[in-house]
Structure 1
Amino acid sequence: MKFGIAVFPPKVVQDEANSHRKRFDPHYSLIQPHMTVREAEEWDERKLAEAVRHLEEVTANTQPFAVRINRFSSFYPVANVIYMALEDPSPFVSMYRTVCSGVLEEKNIKYSYNPHLTVGQDLGDDEMHDVLSSLRPIPLDFNFTVDRLHLLYQTENGAWTVHQTFLFRG
């Protein structure tokens, strides 16, 4: 089964993201707006048990932290992805490094980690530029506290659902 790890922002952030995702993200119906912490990967029962133990240990020592989403950005020219960006990604990146260590170390990573909330993907070049130019002027100012991780699994129809939630207890 395929598993991944994500943070879900508050409903107000999800509502803003979904107002764009429903038009520009083909994964809109498969997963709610989220910030990926660890990419999806096939795990057997042993790997799942190891991951759960690791996440319990990590979250026992992780303190909640504040983040602010303050703009739209893109990964162009590397990928035609538009996202809501963090003003200061460093606390999120620090948490990512702790989570993705030991048994959850990611192998063969294509890109350096950049926490974000995708609002558009799989766009053609012209569409990507048009959408981004229309979104960039929209002011964003969402402050929230990251205080939990969600271990997700992919269902047979391709949708993602929560397997387990881990509260930060540090």
Structure 2
Amino acid sequence: MKYGIAIFPSKAIQDEANSYRKRYDPHYALIPPHITLKESFEADDETINELVTELKHIANETDPFTININKVSTFAPVTNTIYFKVEPIQELIDLYEKMHTGKFPDNKEFSFVPHITVAQKLVHDEYSDVFGSMKMKNFQVEDKIDRFQLLYQLDNGSWTVFESFVFGKEHV
């Protein structure tokens, strides 16, 4: 089965992201707005049980932290993806690194750029228009992060939560 690990921001940020995603992101119906901590990977039941134990330890050792979104950015010219740029604070980088060592599959495809996708797979003209208008808006958002989610992919391609891991809380 395919799994992934993500942080879901507050409803206010999800609503803002979805106001663009419903028009400009073909994955809109498959997963809510999120910050990817670990790209999708294959795992069997035994492996996922081991990883759940690891994720509990990681969550227990992590204190809640605040993220800042200060602008809209893009992965162009590599792809016509537009996103809310999440400032890469140390707590976020540490979480990401912990999920790519030890028992976790090391499936880093790209360097870690914390972000929330709001538009992707746009044709060039549409990308230019959308990015141009979004760049003019002022984004200054703070959000408290106190958990992450292990997700799995359903047969229809959508993602659903397998388990949530709350920071600094004993789950064992």
TM-score, with normalisation over the residues of structure 2? Answer: 0.93
- DSSP-derived class of the 1:145 partner: strand
CA contact (8 A) 1:89 1:114 kept: no
Q: Deviations over 1:6-31 (max 9, x none)?
A: 00000000000000000110000111
Contact 2:55 2:165 in 1 (8 A): yes
8 Å Cα contact 1:63-1:169 kept in structure 2: yes
Instruction: Provide runs of 4+ in structure 1 moved above 6 Å.
Output: none
Structure 1 unmatched ranges of 5 or more: none
> How do 1:5-154 residues align onto structure 2 when only pairs under 5 Å count?
5-107=5-107, 109-154=108-153
Residue identity over aligned pairs, in percent, reads: 43
TM-score by length of 1: 0.94
Decide whether the 8 Å contact of 2:87 with 2:114 is kept in 1. Answer: no
In the TM superposition, residue 110 of structure 1 has moved relative to its aligned partner by 2.9
CA–CA distance in structure 1, aligned partners of residues 3 and 142 of structure 2:
28
User: Structure 1 residue 90: deviation in Å?
Assistant: 3.5
Q: Distance in 2 between matches of 1:138 and 1:92?
A: 25
Q: Does the 8 A contact of 1:59 with 1:167 survive in 2?
A: yes
Per-residue displacement from partner, 1:100-133 (whole Å, max 9, x unpaired)? 22111423x3310111000011112222122100
Q: Corresponding residue for 2:159?
A: 160
Give the number of equivalent residue pairs. 169
Partners of 1:110 and 1:88 in 2: how far apart? 18
